[in-house]
Structure 1
Amino acid sequence: MLSATRPAAVLFDMDGTLVDSEKIWGVALEDLAVRAGGRLSTRARLAMVGTSMPASMALFREDLGQPDRPYAEDVAWLTERVADLFAGGLAWRPGARELLLGVRAAGVPAALVTSTERRLAEVALKTLGAENFDVVVCGDEVRAQKPDPEPYRTAAALLGVPIRDCVAIEDSPSGVTSAVAAGAVVLAVPSDVALPSVAGVHVRSSLVGVDLEVLAGLR
C-alpha cells in the first residue's frame, strides 16, 4: 500500500514514456526494411512497440516475408542506426521531465526499467540524466523481458523496496502487463498505441500535472 504522501519508489519505462523515442525506432526499422528490400507495415510496427528485440525481429521477418533473415546481422545494424539517431538527442514526453526531476528532488528512489539494451540506454541517459536514477534495468540484463514481470521485480529488489509500494509508469501493452504482473501500482500513459482497459491500471493522457501527490493517491 502506498503511503499517504509518496510511493516507496517510482519505476519509469523509457521509450514512449519518458522520451519520444518510439518514432526513432520506427525510422530505424523502416530503414532496415528498405535495406532488406521490403517495406515495414504500420500494423507490424505498432505491434513491436514495447516488445523485446527478439519479439520485434520475429514480427519484422514475418511482415517482410523473409523468415530466414539473419537475426544477429539485423540486430547489429539496427542497434548502430538507433544509436546514431539517439546521439542526436531525444525529445521528452510531455510532463515527463518535470515528474522525474520532482521525484529526484524529493529523494524518492527511481528506476529506469526498459526493454532497450544497455548500450542504447546509456546513450539515452545522456538526455535523461544518469544521476536521476538509482537503478537502471535493461532488456539485455534480465532473463525474461516485458511482458514478463521480471524487469519490474528486479528493479524493486535492487532498490530494496516492496514492489506493491512502487508506482510503475508505462505506455505500452507489453509494459503494462509486466508491471501489473509484478505487483506494482501502474500508471499508464498511452503514446504510440492504444492501451486495452486493464482492471486496476490508472490511465492518463499525459504526464503533465503528475507529481508525487498524484502518484501517492493511486491505489
Structure 2
Amino acid sequence: MLFDMDGTLVDSEKVWDVGLRELAHRYGGELSVAARTRMVGTSMSESMDILHIDIAQPWRDVEASVTWLEDRVCKLFAEGLIWRPGARELLADVRAAGIPTALVTATRRRLVDVALETIGAHNFDVVVCGDEVGNAKPHPEPYLTAAAKLGAQAARCVAIEDSPTGVASAKAAGCLVVAVPCEVALIPMDGVVTIDSLTATDAVTLRSLVARRAVA
C-alpha cells in the first residue's frame, strides 16, 4: 500500500498555504489562488518557480526561497498536523492486516521527518521523499522506487493520492490508484477509483480491488 502524505493522510496543504503566502508577502507580492492550485503535488523547486513567476519576480533564487519556506513550514509542522478524515483509521487497518506500506511524498526529507512525529514512522516500511528521487511526481519514479523497496510489483500496489500530479505519477508507475480529492478537483480517469473520503474504504476493500485487477 502506497500513501501520499500532504492532503491525503494529513491536512497539511493549509499549513503550506500559510508558509507560501508569508513568503510571497516577504517579497512584497500576493500569491494568487490559481498559482497556489498549480503548486499542489509539485516539488519544492517547481512550486518556487510558480510563486516567483506569479509575483512577477522570476529572477528570485529558487534554493533561497526553498530554504526560507522549509524553515517556516518545519516550525508549523512541529506544532502538530491534523489527520484527514479516515486516514488514521485506514492506516491502522492496513497495518493490522499485515500489508507492507510506504509513504511516497513530494515533500523533502527534513520536513517529512517532522511530519512523521504526528503520523508515526512505525506505520511505514518504506519512506520515499521528494529529494530522494531523480524525478519528482508526476514522473513515475517515486512510486516505482517505493514498490521496488517493498519488494513488490507496482501493478500489485494500491496508491492513494489526492492531487492530479500524484495520481499521474502513480498511474504512470502502473499502480492501482485510489484518488481522494482534497484541495484540487480531479478529472475522472480510467483505472482510477475516486472516493469522497478515506472513511469510505478499508484494507479488505483495497485488497479486493487488487484481486479483481489480477483476474481482469
Q: Same fold (TM over 0.5)?
A: yes
1:164 matches 2:162: no
**Partner residue, 1:202:** 193
SS class of match (1:112):
strand
Where do residues 98-109 of structure 1 align in structure 2 (5 Å cutoff)?
Answer: 98-109=89-100
**Aligned partner of 1:151 among 124, 142, 146:** 142
1:93 matches 2:96: no
Structure 2 unpaired stretches of 5+: none
Query: RMSD of the alignment, in Å?
Result: 0.7
The whole-number CA distance in structure 2 between the counterparts of 1:190 and 1:209 is 13
The whole-number CA distance in structure 2 between the counterparts of 1:47 and 1:74 is 17
2:45/2:63 contact within 8 Å kept: no
What do the CA deviations read for 1:46-98 (whole angstroms, capped 9, x no partner)?
Answer: 11000111211111011000010111211110000000000000000000000
SS class of match (2:102):
strand
The whole-number CA distance in structure 1 between the counterparts of 2:11 and 2:26 is 24
1:12 matches 2:3: yes
The whole-number CA distance in structure 1 between the counterparts of 2:66 and 2:129 is 16
The whole-number CA distance in structure 2 between the counterparts of 1:137 and 1:15 is 13
1:124 matches 2:115: yes
2:107/2:131 contact within 8 Å kept: yes
* Aligned sequence identity (%): 61
TM-score of the superposed pair, with normalisation by structure 1: 0.95
Structure 1 unpaired stretches of 5+: 1-9
Give how far 1:153 is off.
Answer: 0.3
Q: Which has the higher helix share?
A: 2
Residue-pair matches, total: 210
**Partner residue, 1:191:** 182
Give how far 1:209 is off.
Answer: 3.3
The whole-number CA distance in structure 1 between the counterparts of 2:171 and 2:65 is 32
